[in-house]
Structure 1
């Protein structure tokens, strides 16, 4: 491996600007704060490695490119972590999802939503994240590499699944 290249000023500006977006991806795929920080560092490392290949005029929008890499790294990381898990002797253990930092009147509703999201598949979580980021179906299709029509169908299914999960939490 060659010595590390100095950080590009453009790269550091991009990471600083899009850090909240990258952290939201990490939050969705890592409920544990330490794991989330490790994932964030891995995402930034992979972005740094891919940075020389990014060509703004030829590639998708910068945010789309960032999402693609961040989601791919997060999903790969999650799969690696679940492969390493040792089965619990006393039955399955549901991961404890830390509630969002909000402590206002809607805090319990948000905590229920996060618990429901934790039960979604990796890809379904990506749809929820993009939806919450108010991305258009066109942007979602670009990021996920599928058609807009497929995005609509999958979004409808994810929304229905979340409704069912939230009903089980409210009972």
Structure 2
């Protein structure tokens, strides 16, 4: 589910969790999440909250925290944040994509939205990064994710000297 961006696996997992289990976790970590919103139940800020919790290791025990990060490190999407940092730097990231329906989304029908969040383990100053882009050309969207990631890494690296 995490490595392959598989929404079907998420739906299956969610359907088999005890009632209220997911919402208890959401409440515990103060995430803005509304499962009743069918088109986009989780906001950019909610993704940031999840990654903040992972980054700070503030909710899960150490075994589960490490397991979650291991799963995130197996992402198959390598064209965004990961490609914007040097190859020897560890990154854990979650990528998502959706097709926008049109004016209700503030975009042309058929446009795409890419969003990616990650933890970049810079040797001096590890950091969180989240990027959301939209447009019509998947190559340009991936390039924009990569370019923003590279700019942020270069600036963190410069300030860490």
TM (norm. structure 2) is 0.31
Structure index of larger Rg: 1
Which of the two has greater helix per residue?
1
When you count strand as a share of all residues, which structure comes out higher?
Answer: 2
